[in-house]
Amino acid sequence: MQGAYSASKFAMEALTDSLRVELRQWGIPVSLIEPGAIDTSIWGKGLAEADEFEQALDERAHQLYDGQIAAIRKMAEKSAEEAVPPIEVARAVAHALISEKPKTRYLVGRDARIQAVLARVVPDRQRDWLMARTIGMPAPE
């Protein structure tokens, strides 16, 4: 249920990678800031929107999606608890802006670093299974 959000993040990654190559000839560095869960109001807003969405579902939709909604709610609540302060993102941005040799990527937060490692070393289907199991998504029928 985060397809559009995820797509926007992948688009930012692709744009950043392209700009880094295109601007290289002029010595213009381009960095991607990749934050994990950040302690902002997004978590409360997201949970409130999920409540509204869930209340608007008909009986069949509840049968189909209640397990996913519960898993995503649990994940959001856990992420909110483990979220890092916004200052950590600000520090990464500041480093990227003032460093003579900024990193190409700044992973902010433990969860962002874990996701990056998993993406590099765990095959897609195993990572899907691990993610689904970790957040309590229903098993395939």
Catalytic residues: 5
> What are the backbone angles phi and psi of residue 35, rounded to the nearest 5°?
-85, 150
With tokens 């874990």, the residue in question is: 114
Residue type, 135: I
HSE value, Cβ hemisphere, 13 Å, CA-based, for 110: 5
Please choose, from the candidates 43, 137, 136, 32, the residue with its C-alpha nearest in 3D space to the C-alpha of residue 83: 43
